[in-house]
Chain A
Amino acid sequence: MSGVVDVSVRVPKTLTLAQKLYLPQVLAGMRVTIRHFLRNIFAIRRLPTILYPEQKRDYSGRFRGKHILKTREDGSLKCVACYMCQQACPAECITIVAGEHPKIAYEKYPVVFDIDMLRCVFCGFCVDACPKDAIWMTRNYELAFFSRREAIFGIDKLIEKPGIPVKDGYGYRPYYPGDGTVPPTDAATAPVIPGDGERSDLRGRLPVFRPPTPNLAVKG
């Protein structure tokens, strides 16, 4: 083959007499396994296994678990029923029915916001799609149901209830490239989104707009 360099040829070494005699190799193998056994006995706290459900795996602040619908300060849903998450969902598991909010400033709100947890693939596309910071994910992955109907979570199961801590904490949430290019890993350090109507001076910080590149790569 032309142009290939740095090929390392793996040839199995011929076994020595001791290796052919089974027993020395068996003992050598025993040495490895006994070393692991002793290490596990004496460092039982550092075992790679965990005793679920008493002990839980520590997931990162990006874990994509059950969704949560964020609320405004007055307890109303931030969601404006724009259908973007429903459109972005590759599993088609979100169902939204929009209604007119009595409060004029809020305009629209979801009368129905259902997520079918049996269809959901937990990809986080809904979080990426939301333009209102209204849907986040949590670290709650313990979703078991007795019936299929139960698996369809409505607003009552998804809404973040004020004063009640979120089960297992927040997980995947909108991506704020900001300056650090890293999203906050802890809810306490999440940047405060300025309230509606308040305009922050973002224009200077935005990426430079680039017109679409003429496509040279594909012809025909």
Chain B
Amino acid sequence: MSAVATPSLSAPAERLRNSLSSSRFSEKVEVRDLDLPTMEVAPADWPALAGWLRDDPNCRYDLFLDLAGVDNLKRAGRKTRFEAVVHLHSLPRNEHARVKVLLPDGAPPSLPTVREIWPAADWFEREAYDLYGFAFPGHPNLRRILCHDAFVGHALRKDYAPGQRWFAAEEDMKMPAWSQETDTRAGHFETQTLSIGPSHPATHGIIHLIARMDGERIARAETQIGYLHRCFEKMSETHTWNGVIPYTDRLNYVSAMINGVGYVRAVEKMLGIEIPERGVLVRTILSEFSRIMDHCVNLGANLVDIGALTNFWYLYQPRENIYGLIEACCGARLTVSYVRVGGLAIDVPDDFVPRCRALLESIPKFLDDVDRLVTNNRIVRNRLQGTGVVTKEDAVAWGLTGPMLRASGVPYDVRRAHPYGFYDRFDWDVPVSSEGDNFARYLVRMEEMRQSLSIIRQALEIFPEKGPVNSNDWHVVLPPKDAVYHDMESLIYHFKLIMEGIKVPRGERYEWIEGANGELGFYAISEGGGGPYRLKVRPPCFPMMAAFEKIIVGGTISDAIATLGTLNVIAGELDR
């Protein structure tokens, strides 16, 4: 650590450096002030630093958000080839921080596991092992997670040839060792291993659940994912910054708009450009409508799983109407590709505001119907109340965010904690429940939809009737079409943007927004080219799915199905 403190440190980084200097890590950790306070540490000190970061009263980084591997092979001026980049959030202090574990060259990349400190790290470490080949000594279940078991090599390393194809035969698919064991305990009644999925109507996506049944109860469970892995992160490294946008639609495809907004925010922050108010409000309004759709799909499908079929149609009709609005704006219902770096693809249609107002009129009627059918229904209550309980401590330790975390009593909502898109201008509530069971998650989502409607109503009040939606920086936004047709200078800008892409300055950025099911983060690294050097998504449902196998132990299979529904796991985002 340098002896002279740089005067330009931001307040959070300064505070972090001060607390570090009085700790035993003062010589071992270097604090840098990027977009987030960033600590650089060697692998040997990492578990001790992790424990300190979680427990020190001046830090309290209790929420493990993300672990991203980075391969610096083609990146100049880096100390080591491999870095493990960890993003953390402190709930008591409402601050993000980043830790870079620099893995020394000359040895296979390896760093100690921190899953004892943050259980949420478990699956993220498996992911880094799978895609980068990082070893995590001490991790009990270090297996591939997104790629299949017959895969050779580590796909996100820069020297991996992407054209290679690996085929998995049935005998290559590994089942966890414990599922093959027989229970030899004396006087034991009945144990058997049950395999649910990968293709099962209740998984709503392709997820494989292996459960050891002790009579009616689940004694042990494990989920296998990766069946929908489409190498989003690898693909984004070969595309321009704008070319990634259609891929983001396919992450959480139930609320595609929110992903695009999250992604372009990261790029816009790196560029340092501002979007006109009207453009931001369009994004906010359509994001909130997408959130309503996401909750509609989630609740509708969940209620179908537990036998309340009618609600599915009452919840799908508003979704259908919202899709109509989104299609009128951008030309597609599901895969919107509407946002662009610097604004939107196209301005909203003339009748945007009246259409939004009509939706605001119609949606509450459907919510009321579902409310009447479900909320005080004893059958639903018997199925949902007291099942799938997640305590407050567990929710934080497992890295849950979004409605899951709020249903467990933690009022962390990115829109409130880290306002973006004018959310600080609106008057709205963060719905929280302390029960932590499936019914609490139902209640939180129902209320969130009403709060989203209220946000949209207020956004329409301040929505400027006319005005630009795009930034006017021609190094980022395509010039207007009539100018391109007739003006040489505009054509040159147009040509440069299309052929080379937006030139994003060197640097890195983690931007996070409130996705429909939790904190959706994008960690982007630019090397000054037309596309990302590395793009990591922090998918909110990844830690949820990791927690699933712990939540359902002790319950029945039917409770597990009800719980899987309330997690809101979207396979497109889970497997990327």
Contacts of A176 in B (CB 8 A): 480-482
Specify which chain B residues have a CB less than 8 angstroms from the CB of A185 in the assembled complex. 349
Interface residues on A, range: 35 or more
Q: Smallest Cβ distance from B90 to chain A, in angstroms?
A: 10
Partner of B487, one of A28, A121, A171, A206: A206
- B564 to A: closest C-beta gap in Å: 21
A11 to B444, CA, bound (A): 9
> Looking at the complex, which one of B376, B411, B444 makes contact with A4 (CB distance below 8 Å)?
B411
In chain B, what residue has the closest Cβ to A35?
B369
Q: Which of B127-135, B155-163, B195-203, B488-496 contacts A (4 or more CB under 8 A)?
A: B488-496
Asked if residues B431 and A10 are in contact (CB atoms below 8 Å), the reply is: yes
Is there a chain B Cβ closer than 8 Å to A64's Cβ?
A: yes
Among B427-443, those with CB < 8 Å from A are 427-435, 439-440, 443
B320 located at the interface, meaning its Cβ lies under 8 Å from any Cβ of chain A in the complex:
yes
A153 in the interface (beta carbon within 8 A): no
B472 located at the interface, meaning its Cβ lies under 8 Å from any Cβ of chain A in the complex: yes
Distance in angstroms between the alpha carbons of A38 and B413 in the assembled complex = 41
Contact B485–A132 (Cβ < 8 Å): yes
Per the bound structure, the CA–CA distance linking A1 and B483 in Å amounts to 51
- Whether the pair B381, A48 counts as a contact (CB closer than 8 A) is no
Asked if B347 and A218 make an inter-chain contact with CB atoms under 8 angstroms apart, the answer reads no
Which chain A residues border B239 with CB–CB below 8 Å? 90
Give bound CA distance, A128 to B93, whole Å: 44
B473 lies within 8 A of chain A by Cβ: yes
Question: Of residues 498 to 512 in B, which have CB atoms within 8 Å of A's CB atoms?
Answer: 498-499, 505-509
Q: Contact at A124–B345, with CB atoms within 8 Å?
A: yes
B270 touches A215 (CB 8 A): yes
Q: Are B369's CB and A36's CB within 8 A?
A: yes
Cα separation A88 to B489 with both chains bound (whole Å): 20
Q: Cα distance A203–B480 when bound, in Å? A: 12
Interface residue? B478 (CB, 8 A): yes
Interface of A is mostly: loop
- Nearest B residue (CB) for A207: B472
Partner of A62, one of B243, B245, B273, B346: B346
On whether the beta carbons of B480 and A4 are closer than 8 Å, the reply is no
Given that A175-B345, A218-B507 are known contacts, is A206 also in contact with B242, CB under 8 Å in the complex?
no
CA distance A121 to B427 in the complex (A): 38
Contact of B480 with A206 in the complex, beta carbons under 8 Å: yes
Q: Does B335 contact A (CB under 8 A)?
A: yes
A51 to chain B, nearest CB (A): 15
Pick the contact of A87: B271, B433, B498 (CB < 8 A): B498
Tell me, yes or no, whether A188 is within 8 Å of chain B by CB.
no
**How many Å from the CB of A166 to the closest CB on chain B?**
15
- A4-B416, A63-B331 known; A84 vs B498 contact (CB < 8 Å): yes
Which residue in chain B gives the minimum CB-CB distance to A90?
A: B243
Known contacts A122-B332, A183-B346, A217-B272: A8-B487 contact under CB 8 Å: no
- Residues in B with CB closer than 8 Å to A128 are 345, 478
Chain B interface residue number, banded: 35 or more
Q: In the complex, A19 Cα to B310 Cα: how many Å?
A: 19
Tell me which residues across on chain B come within 8 A of A215, comparing CB atoms: 270-272, 505, 507
Q: Return the chain A residue nearest B380 by Cβ.
A: A25
Contact in complex: A217, B439 (CB < 8 Å)? no
Q: Give residues 528-576 of B contacting A (CB, 8 Å).
A: none
* Interface residue? B185 (CB, 8 A): no
- Choose the segment among B32-40, B171-179, B208-216, B218-226 that binds chain A (4+ C-beta atoms closer than 8 Å): B32-40
Q: B483 contacts which chain A residues (CB < 8 A)?
A: 202, 205-206
Q: Let me know if B432 and A7 touch, CB within 8 A.
A: yes
Contact across chains for A175 and B430 when beta carbons are under 8 A apart: no
Whether the Cβ atoms of B481 and A175 lie closer than 8 Å is: yes
Q: Is B166 an interface residue (CB 8 A)?
A: no
> Does B165 reach chain A (CB closer than 8 Å)?
no
Contact check, B34 vs A218: say whether CB atoms are below 8 A apart. yes
Q: Is the CB of A202 within 8 A of B337?
A: no
Other A-B pairs beyond A7-B432, A60-B327, A90-B247, 18, CB < 8 Å = A8-B432, A12-B385, A15-B378, A33-B310, A63-B331, A63-B332, A88-B498, A131-B495, A132-B485, A137-B331, A175-B345, A176-B480, A181-B466, A202-B487, A206-B479, A212-B473, A217-B272, A220-B32
A/B interface sample: 15 pairs, CB < 8 A: A1-B412, A6-B429, A8-B429, A15-B381, A63-B331, A63-B332, A121-B337, A177-B482, A181-B467, A181-B468, A202-B482, A202-B483, A218-B270, A218-B505, A218-B508
Q: A-B pairs with the 8 shortest C-beta distances?
A: A218-B507, A62-B331, A8-B429, A64-B331, A10-B443, A90-B243, A123-B246, A60-B328
